[in-house]
Chains A and B, each alone.
Chain A
């Protein structure tokens, strides 16, 4: 186990885990087969158990499992309570039926007879969501967030740096808070409305000082140096970005109001292309180089192959209209 997690850490690019997670969630979202979805869930949990490390972000499996089961249960309970179907033939549960008046002439119908088909549809829906959650859990658990931050596009470099500063500061901040809370007793204060500020303020000031010192040190070593983009580039950038935003709004609106998905999908795809262009153009400001950048290797290729193959399978099966 230990060896495998070391292997995952050394050989697999964090982006690959996310690609795998994304493909699993798309598969799960499109599937209508209970067993297939269940096996995807099993796959995710299995991958986590085999490859996870001992880092803090890798310990959240129980949390995700709990969350997934809550989703499945809520989905079923909701159907049972609100989706009573009095005319169904295959009654699975026969519960007393209530009508809840809500005022304004509306009423809410609760319970009643629940059919097998309602129940199995609810279970499938719930399990689909659970599979998506666990797929994300898998990606999140197996990829080091700091490594992933290092591979963010250069356009987001500032934000990614702020986040990695925050991740580094969080433990120090907890230390500061504890230290200050202890120290507060030395001044004889234990409670009162000033408690909040008398702990948070010194800890915040302390952390701010440290963070600004760190920022000064980063700047003094060249952080923040960028290429200047030409005026034309900047204009293209801004206009494409405005165009994509408008496209996104129109596309989203059309998708839920037009009768065919063709036009909105085209509009959204174009806007998406625009967005990617903006991100690439903005990244041109970057002049940084990387020492020993983590490259995609054979392990990553294998993962991508698995993703591609499963997609091919899905296309094939859905063409033949087989329920998968």
Chain B
């Protein structure tokens, strides 16, 4: 079906991303593609439909054959009827407004006759359970439905190969499982060759036929899943958890019954604690804060306090008022009522420069704050603006992100590096309160772990950190305190153990897998 011979890809100046790749995929094969961040697995997948090098730049060498036709160097539109492609965020890749238009778009581009379009559309919609949704606007759909539409659209022109780049990363566990099940069905029943990149390996491992690992050192290998998992460095949390519990062979899914019956060693009460020196040192006190936009009340009578060295996780659905509250604390957002006290005074009357010494906010899209052409320009500009000694920001950045080529364009950094850069810039003036709005968006495992490390370090320095997030696993890993908001009001405030445990409001995956009261994060076991 699909054959790669001696494939090599490089971006010109640097070492090849991968080279001497020889792989073959059969019709109906379901292959999981994985590899550490930056290993080039996205580029590898994009080579298969021509997006690399045609849209990403770079050089491709070697040979790609589909059904014995040499398609090396073809443009994406030349490959469009052979390979279907699905992206991480469906909403960014939708071309039209409604489900129906989206499904016929590919067929229209390829000149499929109208009667043929009708019959294919009916079959496809029935097969992917989209018949009821055909007239709906794409933006009204849930994430899982959107991804199903994206898959249907990628297959509408009769493509026999389906390539998906982390399609479930923005989905909740249930919707993600549905998508994986759907792909499994497409492979086994329709004989479609599916190549799926997925960083939550445990979701896909049970269903796939083979596992392709892009190692990042230039080699790409394909093995059976059970063999591959043994030597793969980036193990899924459930595997790591079963290793810590001494279960061999490791469990591949969180539903494995052995987890529930495993003997659990003694564990800490929480995964992270406020350092003793700072106990009782108030950093922030909110008294019945409210934020009103026109007629709607975004934050309603919120009272809470944070001490130095505490990490407060602000949880809640979208629209529950997390972002509004953060902006109100920072001082530049609307505040309609209530009082705010910090050791340095109220933030609202301060100038934006003064606020940087007190409370600093990193917004959802951290890259909004970057506007200079190189990393070093940003770092120097930050020092100059903060009137801090030279390399203050640079050394913070290096602590957060390790060595990064300072001549790079900030947009070319990974999401995690961008976040670290913005954090370094925002902390250059030494603010005591750090506010993070959905910082884990777009971050993979490693980057999340690095971010957790940074937050722990800031806690040790006695900063008060507030993290607005709906990433339960991440919150369970870093929070000393939790506040759950619902329609602008505090629904619950308490310790992580109360919130994330089996019977808590937001049970974590570890809680659900182990069903042990008070144990909600792997970090507690160390």
Write out, one digit per residue, whether chain A residues 199-229 have a CB within 8 A of any chain B CB (1) or not (0): 0011001100110111111111111110000
A-binding residues in B (CB < 8 A): 49-51, 54-55, 75-81, 83, 85, 87, 92-95, 100-101, 104-114, 117-118, 121, 153-154, 157, 330, 332, 351-353, 355-356, 360-363, 365, 367-371, 385, 411, 425-426, 429
Asked whether, in the complex, the Cβ of A216 is within 8 Å of the Cβ of B108, the reply is no
A3 lies within 8 A of chain B by Cβ: no
**Which residues of B lie under 8 Å from residue A179 when comparing CB positions?**
363, 365, 368
Q: How far is the CB of B430 from chain A (nearest CB, A)?
A: 13
Nearest residue (CB) in B for A208 is B411
Inter-chain CA distance A179–B109, complex, in Å, is 35
Asked whether, in the complex, the Cβ of B371 is within 8 Å of the Cβ of A186, the reply is no
Nearest residue (CB) in B for A221 is B106
Tell me how many residue pairs across A and B have CB atoms closer than 8 Å.
139
Cβ-neighbour of A197 out of B113, B353, B371, B411 (below 8 A): B371
Interface residues contributed by chain A, number (CB under 8 Å): 39
Asked whether, in the complex, the Cβ of B367 is within 8 Å of the Cβ of A222, the reply is no
Within 8 A of B (CB), among A171-198: 179-180, 182-190, 194, 197-198
Cβ-neighbour of A288 out of B94, B108, B353 (below 8 A): B108
22 contacts between A and B (CB under 8 A): A182-B363, A183-B365, A184-B369, A185-B332, A186-B369, A186-B426, A194-B371, A202-B368, A202-B371, A212-B55, A217-B94, A217-B95, A219-B55, A219-B75, A220-B49, A220-B79, A221-B153, A222-B109, A222-B110, A225-B111, A287-B111, A291-B121
Inter-chain CA distance A232–B154, complex, in Å, is 36
Asked whether, in the complex, the Cβ of A291 is within 8 Å of the Cβ of B87, the reply is no
Asked whether, in the complex, the Cβ of A221 is within 8 Å of the Cβ of B80, the reply is yes
A2 lies within 8 A of chain B by Cβ: no
Nearest first, the 5 closest Cβ-Cβ pairs linking A and B are: A222-B109, A222-B80, A217-B93, A287-B111, A183-B368
Q: How far is the CB of B292 from chain A (nearest CB, A)?
A: 18
Given A183-B368, A289-B114: 4 more A-B contacts, CB < 8 Å: A183-B363, A187-B356, A224-B77, A291-B108
Known: A221-B95, A291-B117. A215 touches B55 (CB 8 A): yes
Asked whether, in the complex, the Cβ of B55 is within 8 Å of the Cβ of A216, the reply is yes
**Which residues of A lie under 8 Å from residue B87 when comparing CB positions?**
213, 217
Asked whether, in the complex, the Cβ of B95 is within 8 Å of the Cβ of A214, the reply is yes
Name which of A212, A287, A288, A291 has the most chain B CB atoms within 10 A of its CB: A291
Cβ-neighbour of A225 out of B78, B94, B118 (below 8 A): B78
Inter-chain CA distance A179–B363, complex, in Å, is 10
Asked whether, in the complex, the Cβ of A202 is within 8 Å of the Cβ of B367, the reply is yes
**Which residues of A lie under 8 Å from residue B332 when comparing CB positions?**
182, 185-186
Asked whether, in the complex, the Cβ of A220 is within 8 Å of the Cβ of B85, the reply is yes
